[in-house]
Amino acid sequence: MIPLAFSFQSFAHADFWIGVGIVAGIYSIFTLGLQVNVGFTGILNFGQAGFMAIGAYSMALLILKAHWSPWAALPVATLIAMASGLLVGIPALRLPPHYLAMATIGAAQIVQITAQNATGFTGGNEGLIGFDAEWQRIQTWLLGKLSAVGLGQQYELPLFLVTWLSFLVLLVVLRALQHTPWGRVLRAIREDEDAAAALGKNVYAYKLQSLMAAAALGAVAGYLLALNVTLIYPQSFSADFTFIGFAILVLGGLASYVGVALGAILLWFVLEGMRFVDLPLAADKIAALRLLLVGLVLIAVMVFRPQGILGKREEMVIRG
């Protein structure tokens, strides 16, 4: 009987780690947006969770209330998230960096309060469900294909594949953009805003575009998060999400897109690996312990290795 018990356990573990991989992938995409802003443009976006919420809620509301097809809802929701980035950026990007940080975190807070309290629209704290019928169909189809190679029992594998495929596509696009004139202007702004302006570049417009790009990436992470938990509710989009993203960002390293994935995988395997240590604590205290660890990661990286694992010190330019 022992081999059977063993194999059953290893399957259970495979399922568990696939789940962790999905979360790490979602955070990677989320943090790509922060990397565009912080690592490549030198602007502080503390409201990424808010853009993520706007994307996810717009997608779900277009499907549930307006009865759109998901294939139409996804691009439009992404545009809505980008428009919200523009809306926040127009006043906030004119100001010194610490004001931008406060304004973006405040905007994200207003999004969360709205999600909680506009109950007729967003379902309040009960959230929104039933927006993923199309995804269920795709998932079943993918599982059918996977069972051909003996992986039909791994129910989380389809989302895992879609998440990391999305990450890879976005990675390739962002790395290509980095070498276009647009990407070079962003880095020029990071290095020396006044010099970029003196060369006739509209610094403000480029910063707005950078924030809109981050908002779009946040929205994509939001869709995947919604598919993963099959429920959209306000607590998923708290400011904690943004700062877990920042921990991933600085852990992996500034100005490195690959570092984002590395940071996300590292952080989430540590956070989820804690489940295997049997702690005699209630659920809320375990949650607190995990976020405490995130805080310690932030402090430790910033004190001892501010450029992170893959980042370069000379590419760390943010005037705070």
Partner 1 sequence: MPALLRRAAAAPVWARVCGGALLLLAVLVAAKGPHDAAQTTVNGIVTGTYFALGAVGLALVFGVLRLVNFAHGDMLTFAAYMALLFSMTLGLPIVAAMVVGTLATAALAVVSELVLWRPMRTRRAGGFQLLLITIGLAFVIRNGIQLFAGSIPRTLDVDVTTAFNLVGHVRIGRTQSIAVVVGLIALLLVAVLLRATRIGKEMRALADNLSLAEVSGIDTQRVILVTWGVAGALAGLAGVVSAAAIGVMTPNFGWLLLLSLFAAAVVGGLKSAYGALVGGLLLGLVEEWSTMFVDSRWKFAVGFSVLILTLLVRPTGLLGRPEVT
Binding site for partner 1 (CB under 8 A): 38, 44, 91-92, 94-99, 101-103, 105-107, 109-110, 113-114, 116-117, 243, 246-247, 250, 281-282, 284-285, 287-289, 291-292, 294-299, 302-303, 306, 316, 318-320
Q: Closer CB to partner 1, residue 138 or residue 266? A: 266
> Of the two residues 95 and 176, which places its CB atom closer to partner 1 in the complex?
95
Task: Give the CB-side neighbour count of residue 291, counting CA atoms within 13 A.
Answer: 11
Question: Judged by CB, which is closer to partner 1: 223, or 246?
Answer: 246
Report DSSP letters for 138-150, one per residue. Answer: HHHHHHHHHHTTT
**Token output for 160:** 């895992």
CB of 33 to partner 1, least distance (A): 17
* Least distance to partner 1, CB of residue 75, Å: 28
Kindly tell me which of 107 and 213 has the beta carbon lying closer to partner 1.
Answer: 107
- Minimum CB separation of residue 246 from partner 1 in Å reads 6
**Whether the Cβ atoms of residue 35 and residue 257 lie closer than 8 Å to each other:** yes
- Determine the Cα–Cα distance for residues 169 and 210; give it in Å rounded to an integer: 18
Adjacent-strand bridge partners of 132 = none
Q: How far is the CB of 272 from partner 1 (least distance, A)?
A: 17
Of 181 and 280, the one with the shorter C-beta distance to partner 1 is: 280
Cα–Cα distance for residue pair 114/126, rounded to 1 Å: 13
Give least dist CB 294 to partner 1, A.
Answer: 6
| Phi (first) and psi of residue 232, to 5 degrees | -110, 115
Decide: helix, strand or coil at residue 298: helix
